[in-house]
Amino acid sequence: MIERIERWFQKSTFAQQGFLREQSGKILQAAELIAASFNNGGKLLIFGNGGSAADAQHMAAEFVNRFKIERPPLPALALTTDTSVLTSISNDYSFDEVFVKQLKALGVEGDIALGISTSGNSPNVVEAVRVAKKQNMITLALTGGEGGALAQEADLALCVPTDETPIIQEVHLMAEHLICDLVDAMLFLKPGEDLV
């Protein structure tokens, strides 16, 4: 069992290091796009299924409340939390439409749509990114492996270099925290100042 624990940590560390090597420039670019959108009155709309839905809520909370520093709330919304909206769309139309309809209702040009899918092939996430692009929103993706259809659709895709869902989710959380940290630094820190 100890060896099993050690193997897990080794796989997670390997994926984190590979992600850092291959994607650090994209993490910075994603943070710059989000910060610019916030500066211009835009908002961040985040969505995914299962663990990725939990990530969407977690990330939205970091922006709306705070991450590490005291600063004004930032306009981020998880499209995974309104059970009446989710179940009515699923019942009346299709589960594939649960994020699409919300983006059509809430998204405007200059907003950011962030789709999260470990496989990159969740139909409702991929379709939502397609719709967001048609609405002139900037589209970002967090995914894994080869990125799936989501990576092909998004303006900017950050892919974790493994096919193991739990490891992808661990690295996604790290990426989300890094983006929050960078956005806070870009918007609220003076040159030479550091986050506490």
Tokens of 141: 């993706």
pLDDT confidence band for 196 (50 / 70 / 90): low
**What is the phi/psi pair of residue 133, to 5°?**
-65, -40
Buried b (16+ CB within 10 A) or exposed e, 140-155: bbbbbbebbbbbebbb
| Residue 67 CB coordination number (10 Å) | 17
Tokens of 56: 């969407």
Per the document, the length of the chain is 196
With a cut of 90, say whether residue 154 has pLDDT above it: yes
3-state SS assignment for residue 164 = coil
With a cut of 90, say whether residue 94 has pLDDT above it: yes
